[in-house]
Chains A and B, each alone.
Chain A
Amino acid sequence: MAQTTMTRRSFVKATAAMGAVAALGIGVSDSLVKADPARAAEAGEEKLVKTSCRACIASCAVIAHVRDGRVVRLEGNPESPMSMGGVCAKGMAGIQALYHPNRNKYPMRRVGERGSNEWERISWDEALTEVATHVNECTDKYGAESIMVSTGGGGNPHFSNVKRFGEAIGTPNVWEPGCAQCYLPRMAASQLSNGLGKPNNLSFSDSNGWDYYYTDSAVTSLVLWGTDPSNSSVATGGRALAELRNRPQGLKTVVIDPRFTIDAAKADVWLPIRPGTDAALVLAWTKWILDNEKYDVDFCSTWTNMPYLVNPETRLTLKATEAGLEGSDTDYVVWDPEKGEPVVVEYPMNEGLKPALFGEYEVNGLTCKTGGQLLKESCDEWTLQKAAEVCWLDADQIEKALEIYTDPDGQSGIMQGVAIDQYAQSQQNALGCLNLEYLMGNVEKPGTMLQKFAGCPARDQIPNTPRFLSKEMTLKRLGTVEHKGLLDWDMAHIPTVFKAVEDGDPYQIHMWIERSGNKHVVLGNSSCLDKLTPKLDYIVHVYMYPTAFSVLCADLLLPCTEWLETNLPIPQLNTVVIRQAVTHLFETVEEGIIWTQIVQKCAELGNQHCADAFDKDKVNGIPMYKNEKERIGLLMNKLDMSWEDACKQGVITWCTPEEYRTYQVYLQTDEETGKPKGFGTPSKKCEVYCESNIILGRTGFPWAHCNEEEHFEMEPASEDYEPLCYYEEPAESPLTDTEYPLVLTEGRLPMYHHGTLRNIPYLREMYPVPECWINPADAETYGIKDGEWVDLESRRGKTHGKAKVTTRIPKGVVYQERFWAPELLDTDPEAAYKIFNINVLTKNDPPYNPEYGTYTLRGFTVKVSPSADDVDSMVWTKPEQFAPWMPEPSDPTEDVFDYGA
């Protein structure tokens, strides 16, 4: 019988090698460590299958070795231009994840009370009938809005699929704990202010920054603002940065992060910013760039709306009709300083005109400032000294960082990480950093972060169908009248949804279909689920393993596939990396197929809306696929080859790198107008003064869609959204909080992704329990010793961490990452998620960010003290303790549902 090949020693060697590449800045090609060769007593032929990992969103290309139907070894596939053969610890753990003895293998119905962890196996038909019956019944009894559907970033999710499923069963209440707290702010701010399209923004680890995967990139310096690619995208982003650092010219970096991360260790300047104060630093940077005239005058004048006059009454850009000038109500107005008069803009800018970027001017009885003037005023008080005081930084170091970023002989870019999304200033941070890039003209040039490279013919997400829902139903989406930014992702506001669950206000939520790992680990103030779960009639959990959520909440478990059992084409730069199923185990089903099967069963049982989901005219978009063949066809999209051929190739190059790396697309001529294409905003300019944000708050444009209208106008939010960055001190502030005097932050670990993989033996050995980083000065104040358990408390609750006394975190700040203990599921499922999980402490009450309703996951206050609890006796930390989780390989089984004719 062939044995799995990965020994503990070779696992650690291989994963450490990938980490070393990131940490030491050495080239990948010379440094990969070969894993031990496969051992087998007697063996069938070993087959190599090209596929792709999905332990996180990086989707590194992988080669799976399969013998006798079992996956025996994994290694990176060097054909991918993003990972180039690299695989991190999470990917290497794929075999242990696949053959984990605790896999959900069959549909399971709970027997007894929630929390009893007793289940009975049922058939898929029985399970689907049960779910569909509940869906139809909730729809008939209360309305489909009484069903909420959720997903999350951990454990193989496909966000669009889940949204499409929600729309197909008629509910507007789809949500995920990321969204307003992860990526949406950065993505939506970019869409509003430059309109480059959905994936084009300042997030590197969400797979932007494509120019940086080429070592001939013109980039000379990068600002890593709240991001740590060496942890969060080890083999792709982290690797790419290492390669750039390894160039003869190197790469200068500025790291803005309270933690001294691997990336900070390589940086030229580390700014250990106080969590929750990023906007203050953004404003100080903005002021410094303006005061020192470091901005790109030409780009700002022609390609931003800085020179556009703003109507003080409407707060929107002044139009020719308002100015009393010849032109329409869509023509913009600037000030000609030479002639001393207002001028109607001839797109992109009037020949020979150098419009005023700053100033205040009288136009037709109105005192109008330029967008640039308003920007200037917004940051005027933010000297470097003031920012240093607020952000707990050194003013000289801030200036040093700025000099690197604005070096006239270099080319820089800002990578903005999830940290800035995770508290109430999410939109302000996002808009503010984008403005820095616009000021510097860092848009679509070689070496910049913002690019509009050629679009891939295949896709890894099938667009969802927001226009399938009626206006009535769309307006019932909870929380989106107030937080209209959520409309970009067609998602609901979690606290508003939870209020509906708890209070039945404005209507009662009765049913929950949840597809991701462990909501108890990733939701803000996750203990609130203890109050909410009793209110729900029926809860379905779709996942690969039981988690605290399964045990404490679920009435039905549906087993879904691991990444080694799924199919997906994945755009990666100028290639498409194919993830193809290497095996299939038990009765697991790919989540996308679970969704369509539920919808089909609902239709079969009489739900007309579900039947309509398969009709493209009814959905106003792409109808629901019926089977895997149709699903794959939609994903392959315009890639002109069969799925079978794509699988044989594994990595498909659809154009050359030169054809892919298209710079300054905005300067290309629009054939219809004969003028430059510009940007995807109403003005075709980058909106430094982001009036699109104001309009969003007042009307929902551009994201309020429904079945009846492509764009419909919603009632305004309670207050205007602001067009420019501003700073607000966090609601829980260490400046005034005497009861909870420290500030907590979280941040990524290279061997885990969100709440996943805490049940993988080799990964747990590497990092068995969460470290609580505390500065030596604070440790002394609070009597904390290195290596001891601490109690970590906030106004929401208490949890534990293992103290790491280190100067890698500044005084006044503590760091700990989310965690949970699968080993406690049988004996104490509540403790499983509470024992060392910082989301027991995080904050989901107001104030929220206005645009997205972001609550607070970082930058709130805590206190730390030595723990009297015997945590070591409860959780596993020793290698031998994880033995029960060692993989139990099994033979492949047939897919549950037909692939499709």
Chain B
Amino acid sequence: MGMTRNDDDRPDGVASMTKASGHPSGPDAYKRTYEAIASNHGTAHALLDTLRACDVDAADARPYREVEEELSALPSVAESTQGPHTLLGILVRTGGIATIEVPEATEGACGSPLSKAGGADEASSEPTTVATGEVAAQAQDQPVDVLVRITEEGREVLAAFDPVGRFETLLAGEPAGYADAYALVLATCDSDEGGASRRDVECALAGNPALTDPKRVYPSYFISRLESIEGLVWDGAWHTTDAGERMLGVLATSL
């Protein structure tokens, strides 16, 4: 399942990735990146996956197009309202992802070499000067590629959204009987036989005291919460994620 995206039609998608100027850094970047994820549940997982896709050291910064292609295949991005280009752009603007321009490595008309591609340092934003015969032109040449990598602030945000950490926080705030319900849901969805439907989960929880004590909640209460913290993922059925397996481990030690 996927929805049509117009990202590929977007003119000069690579160049536009670098148009954002004055990328925030420090606490501001952390705050903005955190808020971008927290402010829209519909894109939260896609943004987190985007950060993860860029979670490399500076030396290993990845080509934008490569990341874009990888993101396109992810279920979270397919479900999101925004395409990979936009998701990357959001995080570049917030300062969670840094970009490195890769200028074109060619010789000038008078034989003056220009800077070569690659390198971990941010390229200068100054226009490249090309000497062309009798007229020196100031031309803002476009980079041929952009490399992307997570920033330190982006890493901190990823840590803050660590699924198991969030699960522990969630459990601490829930009524005592809910731990059992979460365990049941995770176990039901941790099936080798293609996951579990919503009805499967409802059947598993039928009669469970957590549905009525201390208040009335429905089985999807637990599904939604686990999905929010990346313990479950949907691809036509509910599946327990790797993080969800670790949540089961947390529950096993506490129940």
> B238 to chain A: closest CB distance in Å?
8
Kindly list chain B residues whose C-beta atoms are within 8 Å of the C-beta of A113.
36, 39-40, 90
Q: Tell whether B223 is near chain A: CB-to-CB under 8 Å.
A: yes
Contact A142 B223 (CB under 8 A): yes
Given the interface pairs A141-B234, A534-B40, the reply to whether A504 lies near B216 with Cβ below 8 Å is no
**Which A residues lie within 8 Å of B39 (CB)?**
113-114, 533-534
In the complex, what distance in Å separates the CA atom of A730 from the CA atom of B216? 30
Known: A113-B90, A555-B81. Contact between A508 and B42, CB under 8 A?
no
Within the complex, the shortest CB–CB distance from B161 to chain A, in Å, comes to: 14
A507 within 8 A of B: yes
User: B86: CB under 8 A from chain A?
Assistant: yes
- Contact pattern, A 80-122, Cβ under 8 Å of B = 1, otherwise 0: 0000000000000000000000000000011111100000101
A555 CA / B83 CA spacing, docked (Å):
13
Q: Establish whether residues A538 and B81, one from each chain, have CB atoms under 8 Å apart when the complex forms.
A: yes
Q: Judging by beta carbons under 8 Å apart, are B224 and A508 in contact?
A: yes
Nearest chain-B residue to A130 (Cβ)?
Answer: B3
B52 in the interface (beta carbon within 8 A): no
A362, CB-defined interface residue at 8 Å: no
For chain B residues 202-255, which have a beta carbon within 8 Å of chain A?
Answer: 215-218, 220-221, 223-225, 227, 234, 236, 238
With A112-B82, A506-B216, A507-B218 already in contact, the answer to whether A120 and B223 are too (CB < 8 A) is no
Instruction: Tell whether A708 is near chain B: CB-to-CB under 8 Å.
Output: no
Cα distance, A537 to B6, chains bound together (Å): 20
Residue A856 CB within 8 A of the other chain: no
B3, B220, B225: the one within 8 Å of A133 (CB): B3
Is A476 touching B81 in the complex (CB atoms < 8 A)? no
Q: A177 within 8 Å of B by Cβ?
A: no
Partner of B197, one of A122, A140, A504: A140
- Interface pair B218/A506, CB less than 8 Å apart: yes
CA A113 to CA B32, docked complex, whole Å: 12
- In angstroms, Cα B40 to Cα A110, docked, is 13
Q: Please name all residues of chain B whose beta carbon is closer than 8 Å to the beta carbon of A143 when the two chains form the complex.
A: 198, 218, 220
- A114 to chain B: which residues have CB within 8 Å? 39-40
Q: Which of A116-147 contact B (CB under 8 A)?
A: 120, 122, 126, 129-130, 133, 137, 140-143, 145-146
| Contact, CB under 8 Å: B3 / A534 | no
Residue of chain A at shortest CB distance from B38: A534
Known: A113-B39, A142-B198. A506 touches B81 (CB 8 A): no
Known A143-B198, A535-B41: A506·B217 in contact at CB below 8 Å: yes
**What mask results when residues 139 to 178 of chain A are scored 1 for a CB within 8 Å of chain B, else 0?**
0111101100000000000000000000000000000000
* Whole-angstrom CA separation of A132 from B145 in the bound complex: 37
Give, as a whole number of angstroms, the nearest-CB distance from A179 to chain B: 23
Instruction: For the complex, give the distance between the alpha carbons of A46 and B221 in Å.
Output: 60
Partner pick for B221 among A110, A111, A140, A504, CB 8 A cutoff: A504
Q: Which residues of B contact A555 (CB under 8 A)?
A: 42, 81
Partner of A146, one of B6, B197, B220: B220
Q: How far is the CA of A476 from the CA of B234 in the complex (A)?
A: 23
Alpha-carbon gap, A556 to B42, bound state (A): 13
| Chain A 468-512 interface mask (CB, 8 Å, partner B; 1/0) | 000000001000000000000000000000000000111110100
B59 contacts chain A at the CB level, 8 A cutoff = no
The reply to whether B224 and A507 contact each other, CB–CB distance below 8 Å, is yes
Chain A positions within 8 Å of B1 at CB level: 133, 137
| Inter-chain contact B40/A510, CB cutoff 8 Å | no
- Of residues 1 through 32 on chain B, the ones whose CB sits less than 8 Å from some CB of chain A are 1, 3-4, 6
Chain B nearest CB: distance from A520 CB in Å?
16
B residues within 8 A CB of A476? 218
**Category for how many chain B residues contact A:** 20 to 34
**Docked complex Cα distance between A113 and B86 (Å):** 9
Contacting residues, chain A, for B41 (C-beta < 8 A): 510, 534-537
Bound: A719/B41 CA distance, A: 37
Contact B3 A507 (CB under 8 A): no
Structural contact, B42 and A538, CB atoms closer than 8 A: yes
In the bound complex, CA of A140 to CA of B198 (Å): 7
Residues of B within 8 A of A126 (CB): 3-4
Instruction: Report yes or no: B224 in contact with A142, Cβ–Cβ below 8 A.
Output: yes
Smallest beta-carbon distance A666→chain B, Å: 43
**Contact flag A111-B86 (CB < 8 Å), given A142-B223, A508-B224, A534-B38:** yes
Please give, as numbers and ranges, the residues of chain B lying within 8 Å of A535 by CB-CB distance: 41
In the assembled complex, how far is the CB of residue A110 from the closest CB belonging to chain B, in whole angstroms? 7
Residue pair A506, B221 in contact (C-beta under 8 Å): yes
A120 contacts B6, C-beta separation under 8 Å: yes
Residue in A110, A140, A141, A145 whose beta carbon sits within 8 Å of that of B81 in the complex: A110
- Chain B residues lying within 8 Å of A140, measured Cβ to Cβ, are 197-198, 236
Q: Which residues of A contact B89 (CB under 8 A)?
A: 112
A210 → B minimal CB distance (Å)? 45
- Beta-carbon contact of A505 and B215 below 8 Å: yes
- Residues of A contacting B234 in the complex (Cβ-Cβ under 8 angstroms): 137, 141
Contact flag A508-B220 (CB < 8 Å), given A111-B86, A126-B4, A538-B81:
yes
B2 vs chain A, min Cβ distance (A): 9
Beta-carbon contact of A109 and B223 below 8 Å? no
Report the minimal beta-carbon distance from A169 to chain B, rounded to whole angstroms: 16
Residues of A within 8 A of B40 (CB): 113-114, 533-534
Against B, the Cβ 8 Å flags (1 = close, 0 = not) of A8-42 are 00000000000000000000000000000000000
- Residue of B4, B221, B238 touching A507 (CB-CB under 8 A): B221
Give the distance to chain B from A715, nearest Cβ to Cβ, in Å: 11
B224 in contact with A111 (CB, 8 Å): no
Tell me the minimal C-beta distance from A377 to chain B in angstroms: 37
* Cβ contacts under 8 Å, B238 to chain A: 141
Render B69-100 as a binary contact track against A, CB cut-off 8 A, 1 for contact. 00000000001011000100110000000000
Q: Which residue of A lies closest to B2 (CB)?
A: A133
- Using Cβ atoms and an 8 Å threshold, which residues of chain A touch B227? 141
- Which residues of chain A are near B215, meaning CB under 8 Å? 505-506
The CA of A508 and the CA of B218, in the complex, are separated in Å by: 9
- Point out the residues of chain A lying under 8 angstroms from B221, CB to CB: 504-508
CA distance A536 to B3 in the complex (A): 19
Tell me which residues across on chain B come within 8 A of A536, comparing CB atoms.
41-42
* Cβ–Cβ < 8 Å partners of A507 in chain B: 217-218, 220-221, 224
Which chain A residues border B42 with CB–CB below 8 Å?
536-538, 555
Q: Is A141 within 8 A of B198, CB to CB?
A: yes
Q: How far is the CA of A130 from the CA of B6 in the complex (A)?
A: 14
Nearest-CB distance from A498 to chain B (Å)? 15
- A109: chain B residues at CB < 8 Å are 81
A111/B3 in contact, CB under 8 A: no
Nearest residue, chain B, Cβ from A139? B198
B218 adjacent to A504 (CB under 8 Å): no
In the bound assembly, the distance between CA atoms of A141 and B222 in angstroms comes to 12
CB distance from B86 to the nearest CB of A (A): 6
Chain A residue with the shortest CB-CB distance to B39:
A534
Q: Which residues of A contact B217 (CB under 8 A)?
A: 505-507
| Proximity string of chain A (423-436) to chain B, C-beta cutoff 8 Å, 1 when within and 0 when not | 00000000000000
Complex Cα gap A508–B42 (Å) = 13
A508: chain B residues at CB < 8 Å are: 220-221, 224-225
Instruction: Establish whether residues A112 and B86, one from each chain, have CB atoms under 8 Å apart when the complex forms.
Output: yes
**Shortest beta-carbon distance from A170 to chain B in Å:** 13
Q: Which residue of A lies closest to B225 (CB)?
A: A504
Quote the shortest CB–CB distance from B194 to chain A (angstroms).
14
Closest to A123 in B: B4
Interface residues in chain A, defined as those with a beta carbon under 8 Å from any beta carbon in chain B? 109-114, 120, 122, 126, 129-130, 133, 137, 140-143, 145-146, 476, 504-508, 510, 533-538, 555-556
Known A506-B215, A506-B217, A508-B221; 18 more pairs at CB < 8 Å? A112-B82, A113-B36, A113-B90, A137-B79, A141-B198, A141-B227, A142-B224, A143-B220, A145-B220, A146-B220, A504-B221, A505-B215, A507-B220, A507-B224, A508-B220, A533-B40, A534-B40, A536-B42
By Cβ-Cβ distance, the 8 closest A-B pairs, closest first, are A508-B224, A537-B42, A142-B220, A507-B218, A506-B217, A555-B81, A534-B39, A507-B220
11 A-B pairs with C-beta separation under 8 A: A109-B81, A112-B90, A129-B3, A137-B234, A141-B227, A145-B220, A504-B221, A504-B225, A533-B39, A555-B42, A555-B81
